[in-house]
A and B are shown apart, each in its own frame.
Chain A
Amino acid sequence: MSASSSSQAATTVTSVNDVSALFQNEKKYEELNIIGTGAYGTVYKARDLHNSGQIVAMKKVRVPLTEDGMPLSTVREIALLRQLEAHRHPNIVRLLDVCHGGQAMDREQLVLYLVFEHVEQDLDSYLSRAPGPLSQARIRCMSYDILSGIDFLHSHRIVHRDLKPHNLLVTSAGRVKVADFGLAKTYDTEMKLTSVVVTLWYRPPEVLLGVSYNTAVDVWSCACVLAQLHSRRALLPGAADTDQLHRIFRLIGRPPREQWPENVSVMIDSFPDYEPQDLADVIPGITPLALDLIKGMLVFEPSKRLTAMDCLEHPYFTEEPLM
């Protein structure tokens, strides 16, 4: 493969395509089993063969190649994910490695592997396995973890967009780490696996209505998750887009006309003029401060919602526990 005829690299006309095969055989990870399949990729449990068999979680994402190779958005997103990792934030799942599976047969897509630390379970299974209600101290600690992780992402201008118990991992020590973020644009370009139903339960109204959104979407989703920590069941388990909106308005009331965004196809009048419910009735046993925090997050208008940073400074976290 290397030219033996000449010592001058300039005359070594070796096709890059010939040598590329050399670098794809080296096996670094051994797939063990599938942990789960999301709408955009499959997560495998795997063994890091170069690292004394350490167990990792490997997310496989298919990236369509453009005429100019790797899509710009994917390159940018991975660059940012790698950069974030330098901060080693305690509430963000560690990204250990990024690699790809070499060239796909049809030359039109590349399989990317994002290698993460393996975390025992996600919040979904944690909650379903919990023998009884979580203690107030545990709920508060987990809430703080989640909001810290989200605040960190927001401070780096990353919107998670799909926060839900499935994407929140719980370590053996009971700490929460945020996973599955930062590839929104890559996902957008990719064909969705149609068989996977995307859960709407944590979606804020602006996403359901199809208007532009920002970091405030994650605060809404966080609120749904926080409520779920208290009651151990989903706050707004809608069955479809419209049903989800009905459930939201039944809880927080139908917004006044002037708050309804312009240029949306859904008419405000298609919803009854729901009165807001008392959140305390929906989440029995919740403490007043926790309630006040969640209320501040479940606000129709994104700009009026608390930010993740506001949340972290809320008395629920800063005042002495009253339990």
Chain B
Amino acid sequence: MPYWYYDKKDLQNTPSYREGIPNDTENRYRKEGARFIIDTGSKMDLGYNTVATGVVYFHRFYMFHSFRTFPRYITACCCLFLAGKVEETPKKCKDIIKVAKSLLTEQKFGTFGDDPKEEVMTLERILLQTIKFDLQVEHPYGYLLKYVKCLKGDKAKLQKMVQMAWTFVNDSLCTTLCLQWEPEVIAVALMFLAGKLSKFEVVDWNGRQPKHNAWWDMFVEDITMELLEDICHQVITELIGATRIGKIVSKINVGRSQCIKWIAL
């Protein structure tokens, strides 16, 4: 069975990097591709699972191929197209291309070539081979819902926390976190971050045992604070990039300094 997790060294030494694309540029391409899948997906009313599956295919694809060989927007389209089939929310290829065209500049759409549909069809076969037909992908969303059911405390606050964690999961799609950690781990980390930012501390939970120091010990073994902070940091960096941090500050009503402190984790 294929294994889809990489350490930081592998994430730097990618096919794109080996073809001369600096890591920063590659990360920007990844982010743009993921953002484009999210935007196209939401414009077509595709659910969060389909979108997230498409994004994971996209990240995995570029662990085997270079952005130089495969332009990102057409790959993104193809990933969303295939994810639609897998998640049983199929969309016609020509409809996806139509939406893509409406979202992209003429120059960017130019990478789709003379016969965009044929390109996507061919790419589908390359994509399937690349991701080794390992099509079913799990996402942190389901885990968030599972975890929050066990946590005790003020219902409204819990609700707010899980909602915030949910948006962080959306943001995490633009990072390579899905290539680093299992969805369970990402869900724990982003719930932890949401708890911190919404100033809600989980002190009790169903199924608590004496050996548990924190609620997540119940779900995932051996999560260290360093790991949690590293994951949070990656998402926050993404948020800053997306200039969404201001919105978050106002939405959750925590002081900016608090946020900055968290950013400086």
Chain A contacts with B in 55-110, Cβ cutoff 8 A:
65, 68-70, 72, 75-76, 78-80, 82-83, 85-86, 97-100, 102-103, 110
We find that the number of chain B residues with CB closer than 8 angstroms to chain A is 43
- Would you give the shortest CB distance from B215 to chain A, in whole angstroms? 26
A16-B74, A17-B118, A72-B90 as given contacts; A78 in contact with B133, CB under 8 Å: yes
Report whether A10 and B108 are in contact in the complex, using a CB–CB cutoff of 8 Å: yes
Determine if A79 and B135 form an interchain contact, defined as CB atoms under 8 angstroms apart. yes
Q: Inter-chain contact count A-B, CB under 8 Å?
A: 106
Q: Cβ of A9: which chain B residues have Cβ within 8 Å of it?
A: 21, 29, 67-68, 71-72, 111
Q: Per DSSP, are chain B's interface residues mostly helix, strand or loop, or mixed? A: helix
Indicate if B122 sits at the interface (CB-CB under 8 A).
yes
Q: Does B4 contact A (CB under 8 A)?
A: no
List, in ascending order, chain A residues with CB within 8 A of B92's CB: 68
Q: Is the CB of A23 within 8 A of B20?
A: no
For the complex, give the distance between the alpha carbons of A85 and B2 in Å.
Answer: 11
Known: A68-B92, A76-B85, A79-B136. A20 touches B125 (CB 8 A): yes
Assuming the contacts A23-B129, A72-B90, A99-B129, asked whether A82 and B111 have C-beta atoms less than 8 A apart, the reply is no
Any A CB within 8 A of the CB of B263: no
From the candidates A14, A75, A85, A110, name the one contacting B85 in the complex (CB within 8 A).
A75
Whether B20 contacts A14 by the Cβ 8 Å rule is: no
Given A70-B128, A103-B122, A13-B1 contact (CB < 8 Å): no
Contact A69 B93 (CB under 8 A): yes
Does B123 sit at the interface, judged by CB under 8 A? yes
Interface residue SS majority, chain A = mixed
In the complex, which residues of chain A have a beta carbon less than 8 angstroms from the beta carbon of B129? 23, 99-100
Interface residues of A (CB under 8 A from B): 1-3, 7, 9-17, 19-20, 23, 65, 68-70, 72, 75-76, 78-80, 82-83, 85-86, 97-100, 102-103, 110
B residues whose Cβ falls under 8 Å from a Cβ of A:
1, 19-21, 29, 66-72, 74, 81-82, 85-86, 88, 90, 92-93, 107-108, 110-111, 113, 118-126, 128-130, 132-136
